[in-house]
Structure formats: structure tokens, C-alpha cells
Amino acid sequence: MPATAEITCALCGIRVIVFPSSLYGLVPGNIEDGFMAHLHERETEDGTRFAVADDVGAWACPSCGRGSTVPVADFN
């Protein structure tokens, strides 16, 4: 997953900005868990929430917990 994606959760309908797993490499290991928990609690002014995908694009909705995968973009 090379870039962020804005997705609507299929279960609860909330908008989620999903960051790629490379975000983990930017956060020092000793604060990673706290940073990720804080990120999942935050939202934009319009209610959009945040999540981080794993290496294969799997992520969990920070609102309802539903698991999903980031759609693969087809640039052809």
C-alpha cells in the first residue's frame, strides 16, 4: 500500500483515512503503541477518523472495529 486512502467503513459508514504500514517506521518503538492508540481516537472536524493498514492493506475501523482491506488502485 504505497499511499493513504480515504475509505468509508462498510459497517458503520464513517469516513476513515487509512495510512500505510510505513507510518510505523516513522514512530519510535517506545511510543508506537501510545501513538497508534491516540491516532485511532482522533478525528477531523467533519468526523473522519484515522487507521493504519498492515503490509497487505488490512485495517480495522477505529469506530466499530470492522476489519477490511484497502482497495488496490488500478492505474491501467
pTM confidence score: 0.81
- 10-38: pLDDT as tens digits: 999 999 999 998 888 888 888 988 888 89
Kindly list the domain boundaries of the chain, sorted by start residue. 5-69
Q: Kindly state the cell numbers that stand for 22.
A: 510505513
Neighbours of 19 (CB within 10 A): 20
- Report d(CA 62, CA 70) in Å as an integer: 14
Buried b (16+ CB within 10 A) or exposed e, 49-68: bbbbbeeebebbbbbeeeeb
- 27-71: pLDDT as tens digits: 888 898 888 889 888 999 999 999 999 888 899 999 999 999 988
DSSP 55: T
- pLDDT for 2 equals 58
